[in-house]
């Protein structure tokens, strides 16, 4: 009899083998084989409902596979930044308190130690949101909210950071700031996997892209994955891919024709 190892292959953080997850009826994802390595900086792309959030939650461990195996490096610290739209903003806490809570999950509230208060102040400073530490979370701009959730995730000192659409709804400059921050974290040794609908603004700039259509259609560097045939299998639409200044640019001429602009 063959024993299935509980740890992933050496040099990987998480390994998914033949993973399905179903919320009831048809699987939201199926047959997923994937490894996440320590130096990863990856975009997961796919249409709405293609299983991107489900995949993140399987990597995080808050969802269990209905079939297949997920192996995590023992003791792996994983940070998760949820999609902003999924958050209940009626929660009446300040930014400082909200970040502190991430630190103090298993201990009584509301008496943080001095060390904890200092640690929170440092991370807020580092993410450029120290000036709004005393504000209610729902009063923040989209970019500030995103940074606050990033601060919460960073307090766990994660080796792997999972972000669900971290730039959706943000203006161009804020999107650049967030991406710059993520690039810095990655250079300092944090593996990062993020989901995005932004092919041109984000996915084509990252070293690795995973195309998901309930299963992994393709993964690899943008030059091997951002191709019309793979995009059609992923999105079910004809998209053109142009080369510009060494980058791939995805053009949706069909959408232009539908609104009569091309």
Ligand X SMILES: Nc1ncnc2c1ncn2[C@@H]1O[C@H](COP(=O)(O)OP(=O)(O)OP(=O)(O)O)[C@@H](O)[C@H]1O
Q: Which is nearer to ligand X, 100 or 170 (CB)?
A: 170
Q: Which range in 48-56, 106-114, 200-208, 248-256 contacts ligand X by CB under 6 A?
A: 48-56
160 binds ligand X (CB under 6 A): no
167 binds ligand X (CB under 6 A): no
Cα 115 from Cα 251, distance rounded (Å): 51
What's the min distance (Å) between Cβ of 9 and ligand X?
A: 26
Q: What tokens does 109 get?
A: 């509230």
54 binds ligand X (CB under 6 A): yes
Cα 181 from Cα 59, distance rounded (Å): 22
Binding test (CB under 6 A) with ligand X, winner from 5, 38, 49, 134: 49
Segment holding 151, helix H or strand E: helix 142-154
How far, CA to CA in Å, does 129 sit from each of 133, 140, 166, 193?
7, 10, 16, 23
Q: What tokens does 189 get?
A: 């040794």
Size of the site for ligand X (CB under 6 A): 10
Q: Which of residues 203-242 bind ligand X (CB under 6 A)?
A: none
48 binds ligand X (CB under 6 A): yes
Segment holding 208, helix H or strand E: strand 208-212
Binding test (CB under 6 A) with ligand X, winner from 8, 51, 82, 143: 51
Q: Which is nearer to ligand X, 33 or 139 (CB)?
A: 33
Range list of H helices, 155-227? 172-187, 222-225
Burial class (CB within 10 angstroms; exposed 0-12, middle 13-18, buried 19+) of 126: middle
23 binds ligand X (CB under 6 A): yes
Q: Which has the closest alpha carbon to 60: 79, 74, 73?
A: 79
3 binds ligand X (CB under 6 A): no
112 binds ligand X (CB under 6 A): no
6 binds ligand X (CB under 6 A): no
Q: Which is nearer to ligand X, 30 or 119 (CB)?
A: 30
Cα 154 from Cα 162, distance rounded (Å): 11
Q: Which is nearer to ligand X, 50 or 144 (CB)?
A: 50
Cα 60 from Cα 158, distance rounded (Å): 11
Q: Which is nearer to ligand X, 51 or 222 (CB)?
A: 51
81 binds ligand X (CB under 6 A): no
Q: Which is nearer to ligand X, 20 or 223 (CB)?
A: 20
Q: Which is nearer to ligand X, 12 or 50 (CB)?
A: 50
Q: Alpha-carbon torsion 170, 171, 173, 179, what sign?
A: positive
Q: Which residues bind ligand X (CB under 6 A)?
A: 23, 28, 46, 48-54
């Amino acid at each position: 009899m063959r024993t299935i190892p509980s740890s992933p292959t050496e040099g990987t953080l998480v390994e998914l083998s033949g993973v399905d997850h179903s919320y009831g009826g048809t699987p939201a994802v199926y047959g997923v084989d994937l490894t996440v390595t320590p130096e990863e900086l990856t975009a997961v792309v796919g249409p709405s409902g293609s299983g991107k959030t489900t995949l993140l939650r399987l990597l995080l461990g808050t969802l269990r596979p209905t079939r297949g195996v997920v192996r995590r490096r023992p003791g792996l610290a994983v940070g998760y930044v949820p999609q902003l739209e999924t958050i209940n903003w009626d929660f009446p806490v300040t930014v400082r308190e909200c970040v502190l809570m991430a630190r103090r999950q298993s201990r009584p509230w509301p008496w943080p130690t001095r060390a904890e208060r200092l640690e929170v102040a440092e991370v807020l400073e580092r993410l450029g949101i120290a000036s709004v530490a005393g504000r209610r979370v729902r009063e923040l701009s989209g970019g500030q909210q995103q940074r606050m959730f990033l601060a919460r995730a960073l307090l766990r000192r994660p080796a792997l950071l999972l972000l669900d659409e971290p730039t959706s709804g943000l203006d161009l400059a804020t999107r650049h700031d967030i991406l710059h921050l993520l690039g810095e974290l990655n250079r300092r040794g944090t593996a990062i996997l993020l989901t995005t609908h932004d092919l041109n603004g984000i996915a084509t700039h990252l070293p690795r892209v995973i195309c998901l259509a309930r299963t992994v259609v393709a993964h690899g560097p943008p030059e091997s994955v951002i191709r019309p045939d793979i995009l059609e299998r992923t999105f079910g639409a004809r998209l053109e891919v142009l080369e510009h200044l060494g980058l791939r640019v995805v053009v949706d001429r069909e959408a232009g024709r539908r609104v009569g602009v091309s």
